[in-house]
Chain A
């Protein structure tokens, strides 16, 4: 028989059972008893018809399809009957599931999905290492010379390719403004190494990758669409980059953004860099990607390269900056290593949140089960199978979780959309998308939630002592003891998890605040910065360059409202960028193999004043000394204390790149990046006309943004092809560099707040429930003369106990969690007492508020009323 004949079979079974009962009745009557007694006797002999009917039905239906369908119908009905409960439960689930799915999608896209390159497992990022004893840990970029040696001598890699991020000025054309773009220098074999081909046109060839070749450029898909209208005719056309002609040879696929997401065009490295730079062993500046030969593992490869490095090092012992060994890590690790930890911490946080959501829903269900106690007891008494009741509870949870998951998916979509819009800077952000794995994850989470909360709830209603339930329900004094305990345990867990989240969030928040308030050593208010670079091709001589800066600064300073202006190659907060080695002329030569280096910057004389970097001793550069005559250097305080510990540095000379410079001043320390300790800096005069790229800073107390356009006008007046980019106030510049931290802190705080609210709701619910259950007891107590204050105190204590337990559990767990987070923290210990104290106080306060209303209500009970309620 098939399922569509259910009705028929049902009737058939009914008829069969009925005839049996009748026969039995007749048989009993023959024994000479009354009709009525005979019917009961027959029923007794027959057994429970409901159960038998159900069991028989189960045989035919195969059970596994029909009974869930029936449970589903039933659950839908129950849920519809309590819309308030359902909506709350669904929303709670939606938050938990949504947050998890969104974050998992990010983790999957960014960390787990293999790189879109050919055989990505064979790709490694190579670094130099082991310069000094203490310098074996870092991931140092590679020098051009060492790269060449590696490439020539290694036997482990089928190819080694070079990359360096750079900024390239694209001249205005066809009515479009000039702009500064992020680009990358590639060695010609980079794309073959990665196994990527341009979608349009051709790849670089070896012939393109040398100083004598004509310039060639590959465009990103985005740039091609935006700037050249997606016109394939751009191939073989010439465009001007930094005032030099380049032939467009191809367009890369839309997804390709190596080495980082902002890269918009690629040119060949040997064509750009001088031979000097490409053969130096001590000028470290390149990323090297290697593809391991089949059968060679990463450590064998590194060992191979290290031998070459050591040999090179030994061959040039007079140069102290040649590394001795190599390191490698998977390419994926290189690209996402920085965001891996925060992402996993956030994922753990969302898991906590989900757990809290499940606990809360379970809690609500337990409360509802308590309210439905009589119904369940009666159904059990009437022969409702125990398994069926659990099945129903599970189905109910599955419904809640599925609806929650549906709503949560919408949340997740919205969150991901927001994320991909706001975090374009994150590496691999483009590979974040919903796919089969994410879908499976979502379903998995939904089922897990349903099972988790369903089983907890079901375990509370599975006691089979029907009679007791019925008796208890008929007159309860402080009923449902076991159930209250269960709810308290759930609450304890919930509070514990909340404490972990709160502490994690507060630590991140506090560390972010520390970060933002760390002293940069310069002004951070009322200063605007603009990036600017003059192309070498058009400004060939130092005089041309120096003149350009003079003219620019004079015109900017003449603008109304400008309090001060200056120009430096790199301003604080823009990163490490550049260091130079130096020696001190007046000091004895260093032993072989030792070297000194410090961050190097070029600035105009008024830069220090404009940026508010104090001149501690001496003076700034002499504005009258220009070009070759500009032989002065200003050092930072830590430079002075590190290299001139017991002497006056003023008047001493630094020897840099074969030239002597006299130290004329000492300025205050600055930080090259927020969160990094100040490092020694040497400042050289911009007037020497050496540098071509830098940042214009303007100080003003009147509306900083208003200067963006006039400055752009001044610049384009001086040179039509010159773009001004990255117009940022100092505050924005620092904000960008702490984007990760603020992002992580904000998300975690949001999660923690949510979980605090959930925990508070849970506490409130349990307290209200306990109060309602104990109405009679309280009534008796009050009637017997208990003071209302006493009642309230007792109720409060009752509610606070799980909160306090949870707090203790959470604190203990946080010790561990904090340690996991320690490398995300800045200048605060994972066991920051202030944070712990704040969390304890907050949690207790919230718990007290959640408990106080039900407790107060309980203490106001009118004893007569209370005693009459049942």
Chain B
């Protein structure tokens, strides 16, 4: 059900959707995206949307508070740079060493949780 609602292209219930999905995981997704190299906000948003097949139908404006939070925690740094493909400046975010460590930590945490959830949800699958 959540998936269908999530696909609705309107503003319907954006709050619950975001609150449910992005709490905590958004940071991880951003950090993971930046692992490929520096990117600006729009690129990050598009990347997450594309790779999740638009499952996370998020309004990419909501990325910015998260980005700035990461910057404040010094997991990423930012710099205005000219884009390689066009003649204008964008604010590029870059992963720091601290951010990399954080990503690893969050990733393993997430994995543990996913496995734990999976063991509860599909016990048979694990036995076989």
A residues adjacent to B (C-beta < 8 A): 12-13, 15-17, 19-20, 23-24, 27, 44-49, 52, 55-56, 58-60
Contacts and interface: CB of A to CB of B under 8 A. Distances in A.
Contact of B42 (A23, A48, A49, A60): A23
Task: State the main secondary structure of chain A at its contact with B.
Answer: helix
B98 interface: no
A58 B68 CA distance: 10
A20 B68 contact: no
A60 B61 contact: no
Interface in B63-95: 64-65, 68-69, 72, 88, 90-91
A64 to B, nearest CB: 15
Nearest to B65: A55
Query: DSSP majority for the B interface?
Result: helix
A20 B65 contact: no
Contacts of A47: 14, 59-62
B6 interface: no
Interface in B24-50: 40-42, 45-46
Contact of A20 (B10, B11, B60, B88): B60
B81 to A, nearest CB: 12
A24 B65 contact: no
Contacts of A60: 68, 72
A455 to B, nearest CB: 24
Contacts of B10: 44
B43 to A, nearest CB: 9
Nearest to B91: A16
Interface residues on B, range: 20 to 34
Interface of B: 10-11, 14, 40-42, 45-46, 59-62, 64-65, 68-69, 72, 88, 90-91
B59 A46 contact: yes
Nearest to B57: A45
Contacts of A44: 10-11, 59
Contact of A59 (B45, B60, B61, B65): B65
B61 A17 contact: yes
Nearest to B72: A59
A52 B61 contact: yes
A44 B61 CA distance: 10
A56 B65 CA distance: 4
A49 B65 contact: no
Contacts of A49: 61
Contacts of A20: 40-42, 45, 60-61, 64
Top 9 A-B residue pairs of the complex, sorted by shortest distance between their CB atoms: A47-B59, A47-B61, A55-B65, A46-B61, A52-B61, A23-B42, A20-B42, A56-B65, A16-B91
A45 B60 contact: yes
Contact of A16 (B14, B59, B64, B69): B64
Contact of B68 (A15, A23, A48, A56): A56
A46 B60 contact: yes
A67 to B, nearest CB: 15
25 contacts: A16-B64, A16-B91, A17-B61, A19-B90, A20-B40, A20-B41, A20-B42, A23-B42, A24-B42, A44-B10, A44-B59, A45-B59, A46-B60, A46-B61, A47-B14, A47-B61, A47-B62, A52-B62, A52-B65, A56-B65, A56-B68, A59-B68, A59-B69, A59-B72, A60-B72
A655 B44 CA distance: 113
Contact of B60 (A12, A24, A56): A24
Contacts of B65: 52, 55-56, 58-59
Contacts of B72: 59-60
Contacts of B46: 27
A27 B50 CA distance: 14
Contacts of A45: 59-60
